[in-house]
Amino acid sequence: MAGPGDPPPRGLPGGGDDEYRSTVFDESFVRAARLQEFSARERLVDCEHPVRPLPPRPLHGVPWRGLVLAVLIVLAFGAVVYAGVSGPRQPVEQPGPRVMSSTVVPLSPDGGNGVPGGRPSRLFERSPAAEFYTGAAGVTLPPVRSTAHFADSQVLAALAVAKEYVVESSLNPEVLSGRTARPVRILIDPDQHAQFDRSIKRPAADGHHAATGWLVRFDPERTEFAGEGVRVRGTMKVREAEADALEIVTDHVFVYAVRPAARADGEAASLFTVRRELRLRFDREDLRDHHLTVERSEVRAGPMSCAARAHEALRPLTAGQTADADHPAGTDPYVRDGGDSPVCGTLDPSSLPSP
User: Quick one: 183 exposed, middle or buried, by C-beta within 10 A (0-12, 13-18, 19+)?
Assistant: middle
Statement to judge: residues 158 and 190 lie in one domain: yes
Statement to judge: residues 191 and 65 lie in one domain: no
Q: How far apart are CA 107 and CA 345, in angstroms?
A: 5
Residue 302: beta bridge partners? Answer: 273
Statement to judge: residues 159 and 224 lie in one domain: yes
Q: Output the pLDDT for position 9.
A: 54
Q: Is the pLDDT of residue 106 over 90?
A: yes
Give domain status of residue 145, yes or no: yes
Q: Output the pLDDT for position 31.
A: 59
Give domain status of residue 3, yes or no: no
Statement to judge: residues 118 and 77 lie in one domain: no
Phi, psi of 176 (to 5 degrees): -60, -35
Q: Output the pLDDT for position 263.
A: 65
Decide: helix, strand or coil at residue 42: helix
Give domain status of residue 4, yes or no: no
Decide: helix, strand or coil at residue 99: coil
Which residues neighbour 197 within 8 Å (Cβ) at sequence distance 6 or greater?
Answer: 185
Q: Are 296 and 98 in contact (CB under 8 A)?
A: no
| Numbers of helices and strands, H then E, in the chain | 10, 10
Q: Are 63 and 71 in contact (CB under 8 A)?
A: no
Query: Using one digit for the tens of pLDDT, what is the confidence trace for 33-48?
Result: 555 555 666 666 555 5
Q: Give the structural domain span for 47.
A: 27-86
Q: How far apart are CA 115 and CA 104, in angstroms?
A: 21
Statement to judge: residues 116 and 149 lie in one domain: yes
Statement to judge: residues 125 and 184 lie in one domain: yes
Is-above-0.85 flag for pTM? no
User: Quick one: 100 exposed, middle or buried, by C-beta within 10 A (0-12, 13-18, 19+)?
Assistant: buried
Statement to judge: residues 72 and 205 lie in one domain: no
Distances from the Cα of 297 to the Cα of 93, 101, 105, 242, angstroms: 28, 6, 11, 20
DSSP state of 244: T
Q: Are 175 and 215 in contact (CB under 8 A)?
A: yes
DSSP string, 180-203: --HHHHTTB-GGGHHHHHHHHHS-
Total Cβ atoms within 10 A of residue 69? 10
Domains in the chain, number: 2
Q: Is the dihedral of CA 171, 176, 177, 183 positive or negative?
A: positive
State the average pLDDT for the chain. Answer: 83
Q: Is the pLDDT of residue 313 over 90?
A: yes
- Chain length of the chain: 355
Percent of the chain with pLDDT over 70: 70
304: left (phi over 0), alpha (psi -120 to 50) or beta: beta
Q: Output the pLDDT for position 348.
A: 87
Average the pLDDT over 113-118 and give the result. Answer: 89
Give domain status of residue 14, yes or no: no
| Confidence at 262, pLDDT banded by 50, 70, 90 | confident
Give domain status of residue 11, yes or no: no
Domain boundary among 63, 86, 109: 86
Q: Is the pLDDT of residue 341 over 80?
A: no
Domain boundary among 86, 110, 136: 86
Statement to judge: residues 75 and 181 lie in one domain: no
Give domain status of residue 127, yes or no: yes
Q: Is the pLDDT of residue 3 over 60?
A: no
Range among 6-10, 47-51, 235-239 with highest mean pLDDT value? 235-239
Statement to judge: residues 53 and 190 lie in one domain: no
Q: Is the pLDDT of residue 110 over 90?
A: no
DSSP string, 260-328: ETTPPTTPPBEEEEEEEEEEEEEEHHHHHHT-BEEEEEEEEEESB-TTS-TTT-B-B--BT---TT--P
Query: Using one digit for the tens of pLDDT, what is the confidence trace for 154-212?
Result: 999 999 999 999 999 999 999 999 999 999 999 999 999 999 999 999 999 999 999 99
Give domain status of residue 269, yes or no: yes
Cis peptide before 303 (omega within 30 of 0): yes
Give domain status of residue 332, yes or no: no
Q: Output the pLDDT for position 329.
A: 64
Q: How far apart are CA 214 and CA 172, in angstroms?
A: 13
Statement to judge: residues 128 and 197 lie in one domain: yes
Statement to judge: residues 31 and 131 lie in one domain: no
Q: Output the pLDDT for position 115.
A: 92
Which of residues 146 and 14 earns the better pLDDT score?
A: 146
What separation, in Å, do the N-terminal and C-terminal C-alpha atoms of the chain show?
Answer: 163
Statement to judge: residues 118 and 212 lie in one domain: yes
